[in-house]
Amino acid sequence: MKRRSFLWAVGAGVVSASAGGCASPDRLAALPGNLGNHGRFAGMPDDCRIVLDGSNDRLFGRIAFTALRREMAYAQGRGVPVGPAAYLAISGGGENGAFGAGLLTGWTRLGNRPEFKGVTGVSTGALSAPFAFLGPDYDRELERVYTDIGLSDVMVSRGLLRGLLGDSLYDSAPLRATIRRFVTPALLAAIAREYTEKGRLLFVATTNLDVPVGVLWNMGSIAASGHARAAELFTEILLASASIPGILPPVMFDIEAGGTRYQEMHVDGGTVAQVVLYPPSLGGDNLLLDPAAVGPGVVEALTGRPRRLFIIRNARPGADPETVPRNIMKIADRAIATLIQAQGLSDLYQLYVIAQRDGIDYNVACIPQSFTERLDAPFDQTYMRNLFAVGRDTMLNGTAWSGVPPGFNAIPVPSALPAARRGRTGAS
């Protein structure tokens, strides 16, 4: 979902003000700080999620290393070498997720869309990530998500008074039902096969608001768990990643530690980061846990093959200038929107630093500045279909990717100094 501010929703006015059911919902206590990350989800594998505060980097390393082993075994069984690795990171952006959906379907038409080794999704990117992960066979489902649904498929007003006294202004039951329609047994089985047989990874980001900290959920591990509630947890994670605080209700996850039940409050992954691959704290020492036991083939497969990162930023690099009225709601809304936009740009720069450090080719696609259509109403189908077409055409005409983040000049300052010095010497 598009990350609108809480103040925007209040200022816009939600329809009916109902006094019924105004008490704040109850919840269990959050996991105490002294228990760290030792809580467990009943029946789920221990690697089903990674906390993005540096404390789970070795766990992330084990997940990546195990996935690499599976990939190597799969390639060996077919008598082929382990090929290049491509990674896809899809950002938040609400209705603007139509851009990324169009871009991916255009990529399929070009005929050179890679099978991604890993896919991550945040917010609206989380909703498209499973389809992007499974590839061109799911392009029609991906297109439907961003061209066929409307506001009634996403949220319904709770009424202003009830919303202000509860945990959100809107009810996300329609979005939950929409997600459930797509999270079929066939989709889960396909993700599980890619995870267990090929070592491909699918992650979705949420924000644990109690801590607060970002969390990456290992969706392949959940799909392959065989747990009776796997589809339900899969759905709830996608819903949580797209649940804007104050606009949609948080998703509560039950967790157990030391025989006691707790709850975690999870909201939109974009609260922490608009787009993510893995944290900068994750390094080679977290991946190669026992260098003495790692054969040369593993090291080569990990670092020697070409690796490419593709980032879809479902937003334009800059905002439209406008005359902001001297109105508290308008000022606050504009300031929050500016903060979110700046955060998204910073996330692109962080991924650029990670890619430079780890020798990964960096590519980012943003909505072109030439797209100036305004969104007049949430989840307007005309807007989304037009933006879908822009994403598709941007890919087809070869202008989608940039090798550096928006606004970054890759020419080092020192490289220009000798020429300038020579110019001054000649003048003298």
If DSSP codes are grouped into helix, strand and coil, which group holds residue 266? strand
**362, 310 contact by CB (below 8 A):** no
Would you give the DSSP letter of residue 151? Answer: G
Active site residue 281: no
Nearest to 334 by CA among 348, 321, 316: 321
From the candidates 5, 53, 57, 123, which is the catalytic residue?
123
Tokens of 370: 């030439």
Active site residue 123: yes
Say how far apart CA 223 and CA 231 lie, in whole Å: 7
Q: At what angle do helices 124-134 and 185-198 cross, to 10 degrees?
A: 70
Say how far apart CA 261 and CA 10 lie, in whole Å: 35
Say how far apart CA 252 and CA 266 lie, in whole Å: 6
Say how far apart CA 50 and CA 318 lie, in whole Å: 32
From the candidates 139, 268, 333, 347, which is the catalytic residue?
268
According to DSSP, the residues that pair with 218 across neighbouring strands are 203
Would you give the DSSP letter of residue 246? Answer: B
Strands 201-208 and 260-268: antiparallel
| Encoded amino acid at 196, one letter | T
Q: Among all residues, which ones are annotated catalytic? A: 123, 268
